[in-house]
Structure 1
Amino acid sequence: MTAFRIDKDKAVHAALYVLDRIGPADYHKVFKILYFAEQVHLKNFGRPLTGDSYQAMKYGPVPSFLYDVFKASEKSESPFVEAMVRSKAFAVERGARKPIVRALVKPDLDELSESDLEALTISIEENSMLGFDALVKKSHDSAWDLAEKAEDIEMSYIDIAKAAGISDGMISYICLQAENASSKLA
């Protein structure tokens, strides 16, 4: 598994940025916009945007930490202190069919680099108008397939990058970045 260190504050502010741009949305839309922003960032800059681990779920990739944050906001409780603290930036209302997330604060743009904002903006422009079924179909890419087939729910950043059509040279660079990140994790 190719591991990167998650930047939890950046993950929260990336989600806030998405909600600031598109307005209140369901988990699914926010998560898919973030997933495709991760792909854009990998392709253009050779590193993930947030480093959150993506889980291959039934309806597509889900960022693990942000899912915990949204659930903490929805339920006003969590076994994870970091998720509970960060959940105060969001309000989640259970709609007739699905929970709707609303930002309670503006994103802190100092938490997001120019490359982060570029990748998020591209993903928002390409994906915010897509419906649920189109986002499911688009996000069920080769990275999702590989995680599902291997029964390994966590998706590899290398597979996510390959699904975005990234060059072999950039894949090598991402592997080196992941190796460096992993050595810092130990």
Structure 2
Amino acid sequence: MFEFITDKDKAVHAALYVLQQVGISDYHKVFKILYFAEQLHLKSYGRPLTGDSYQAMRFGPVPSFLYDVFKAAEKGNSPFDEATARSGAFKVSRQGNTPMVTGVIEPDMDELSESDLEVLTISVAENGKLKFKELVEKSHDTAWDKAEKNEDIEMSYLDMARAAGASEEMLSYISMQSENSSSRLT
């Protein structure tokens, strides 16, 4: 499995940046904008944006840690201390059955590199105006499909990069980066 260490602070500030650009939004739109930014960062720079593990869910990829943070913001607590600690950066309200999230603090731009901001800005421009169904269809790419068919809920970063059109050289580089990151997990 190709794994990376989740940069939890960067994940929060990337989401805050997206919300700063699009305004109050449902979880789905934020998650898909981040997913496409992750793909573009992998394809262009050989490493993920946040390292959050993406789960292949019914309506497309969902970043696991950030989902826990949003749920903690909505419910006021979480079984995961790290999610609860970061949940104060967001406010969640409901429009009918749809949870809507907004950032309550400004993104810390020191948490985001120039390449991070580049891919986030591109992803917001390309995906920020898309409707729910359009985002579902677009995010049901080959990486999502492979995880879904294999009944693996966690999507592979290598498959995400491949779905984004990364070159074979970049895929090799990503694989090497993942091995280096995984070795720090033990």
Matches within 5 A, 1:80-95: 80-95=80-95
2:117 maps to what in 1? 117
Residue 92 of structure 1 aligns to which amino acid in structure 2?
V
| Structure 1 outlier segments of 4+, above 4 Å | none
Q: Which residue type is aligned with residue 100 of structure 2?
A: I
Deviation at 1:113, TM superposition (A): 0.3
2:73 aligned partner, one-letter code: S
Q: Give, in whole Å, the separation in 2 of the partners of 1:49 and 1:9.
A: 12
2:181 matches 1:181 = yes
Q: Secondary structure at the match of 2:136?
A: helix
User: Counterpart of 1:2 in structure 2: which amino acid?
Assistant: F
Pairs aligned (count): 186
Quick check: 1:99 aligned with 2:83?
A: no
Distance 1:97 1:23 in 2: 19
Superposed, 1:147-158 pairs within 5 Å as 147-158=147-158
Aligned counterparts of 2:170 and 2:125: Cα–Cα separation in 1: 24
- Per the alignment, in what secondary structure is the counterpart of residue 184 of structure 2? helix
How many angstroms apart in 2 are the aligned matches of 1:31 and 1:64? 10
- Residue 96 of structure 1: CA displacement? 1.1
**Quick one: which amino acid aligns to residue 162 of structure 1?**
R
Q: Which runs of structure 2 are paired with 1:132-147 in the superposition (5 Å)? A: 132-147=132-147
Alignment correspondent of 2:20: 20
Aligned equivalents of 2:129 and 2:94: distance in 1?
21
Structure 2 regions of 5+ residues with no counterpart?
none
Distance in 2, Cα, partners of 1:82 & 1:46? 27
Matching residue's letter, 2:117: L
Corresponding residue SS for 1:14: helix
TM-score (normalised: structure 2): 0.99
Question: How many Å separate the matches in 2 of 1:179 and 1:79?
Answer: 29
Deviation per residue, 1:127-148 (Å, 9 max, x gap): 0000000000000000000000
> 1:13-92 residue pairs with structure 2 within 5 A?
13-92=13-92
Task: For 2:90 and 2:49, locate their aligned partners in 1 and report how far apart those are by CA, in whole Å.
Answer: 20
Which letter maps to 1:9? D
CA RMSD, 1 decimal? 0.5
Percent identical? 68
How far residue 97 of structure 1 moved from its aligned partner, in angstroms, is 3.1
Structure 2 CA distance for aligned equivalents of residues 78 and 185 of structure 1: 23
